[in-house]
Amino acid sequence: MGRLLRKKDPGKKLKKERPTGEAGQNQNSPAVQGATQPAVKKTYTPVSKPTAVKEKTFIDKGLQFLREVKVELKKVTWPSRKQTMGSTLVVLVIVTIISLFLGLVDAGLSGLVRAVLQ
Closest C-alpha to 33, from 17, 49, 21, 18:
21
What pLDDT does residue 66 have?
A: 96
Rg of the Cα atoms in the chain:
39
What pLDDT does residue 48 have?
A: 64
Bin 54: left if φ > 0, else alpha if -120 < ψ < 50, else beta.
Answer: beta
| Calpha distance 112→106 (Å, rounded) | 10
What pLDDT does residue 81 have?
A: 96
What pLDDT does residue 76 have?
A: 93
Closest C-alpha to 36, from 47, 51, 22:
22
Contact 87, 95 (CB under 8 A): no
| Calpha distance 115→118 (Å, rounded) | 6
Q: Residue 80 carries which DSSP code? A: P
Q: Residue 85 carries which DSSP code? A: H
Counting as low any pLDDT under 70, the low residues of the chain are 1-41, 45-54
The predicted model scores a pTM of: 0.41
Contact 26, 18 (CB under 8 A): yes
What pLDDT does residue 55 have?
A: 77
What pLDDT does residue 50 have?
A: 60
**Domain range list for the chain:** 88-118
What pLDDT does residue 49 have?
A: 62
